[in-house]
Amino acid sequence: MNYQQFIDEVERQVKDKIRGNETMTVYIHTTVKNNGKERKGITVSEKGFSISPTIYLEEYFQQFREGKSIEKIAEKILKLYEEVKCSHPWEDTLLQNYEELQNKFACKLIHREKNEKLLQEIPYIPWLDLAIVCFILLEVSPYGTATVLVRKEHLKSWKLTEAELFEKAKANTPILLPYQFCPMRKMLREICPYAVDETKEEEESLYVLSNKLRNFGAASMLYEGILEKVGQKLGENYYILPSSIHEVIIVPESKSPMKQDLEEMVREINETQVEEEEVLSDRVYYFSRKENRLFL
């Protein structure tokens, strides 16, 4: 059974399990994610609830390949829907309540050309080869973050202009997601203490710029004065490698190879090491302290 056949069979069995319940509807939904990647999931909607969760099926397909029956998977999907519905009752009306949301708007960066289709549906500001877009930071927990991408239809319901949205989001983002700038060795030590040899004293040549959640942290480049602060700390010009939508790598010019070598390295890493949805750009940026600006 291939993936599409699996999706069709899951949809059929979930529908069988809710047969007779006229308040619930089940259908397959294709979502365009970052960089044009499409993901198929099963959406369960219910009368009286304005938000319908989409449950993506890749993980369940893997479970099926490992021996779990589609009937058990269908039961699991409906159980997950009930858990989401009960644990997030506030979502039902929250997206309609602008007063509750206005301090939760934040910015993130995505690639402009790779997201042409998505950008037709959402407000954005061009920036280098990227696009600044807005999302709502609904919840932060030890298990992750809950976010919703701001779409043009949201602005209509809130009676909000794009300019007003970005003004609020740009002001909120450094507060909601404070920047973090540190040597890469320090970050690796936090993630995996045994990956770094503490006995070796090496001069730092790579730094990471992100936010404290390390979620959509590449947008910390947008924070007022941050690129200038990094230049002051390094005492020289530097290159920025957009390693993913979550962080960028800073390379001091004095410790850097040629720009074309850096771009070749970024392309190779994007193709082999970074999830497609998390790729930011294949280009490398250059910050000049003298001109206090970023160059593509």
pLDDT in tens, 91-147: 556 677 899 899 999 999 999 999 998 999 999 999 999 999 999 998 886 656 778
Please count the other Cβ atoms lying within 10 Å of the Cβ belonging to residue 260: 9
pLDDT for position 201: 53
pLDDT for position 193: 53
- CA nearest to 277, candidates 13, 4, 37, 20: 37
CA angle 143, 145, 147 (to 5 degrees): 150
The residue with tokens 């589609």 is 70
Q: Say if residue 79 is exposed, middle or buried (CB neighbours under 10 Å; 0-12, 13-18, 19+).
A: exposed
Residues 166-202: pLDDT tens digits?
A: 999 999 999 999 999 999 887 666 655 554 455 455 5
pLDDT for position 190: 60
pLDDT for position 198: 53
Residues 20-75: pLDDT tens digits?
A: 888 889 999 887 778 877 788 898 888 876 667 788 888 889 899 899 999 999 99
- Going by their DSSP bridges, the two strands 38-46 and 24-32 should be labelled as antiparallel
Contact 131/119 with Cβ under 8 angstroms? yes
For the cut 70, the answer to whether the pLDDT of residue 246 exceeds it is yes
Token pair recorded at residue 191: 């993630």
Contact 184/252 with Cβ under 8 angstroms? no
Task: Locate all alpha helices (DSSP H) within the chain, ordered by sequence.
Answer: 3-17, 58-65, 70-87, 91-94, 98-101, 116-119, 152-158, 162-176, 184-191, 226-234, 259-272
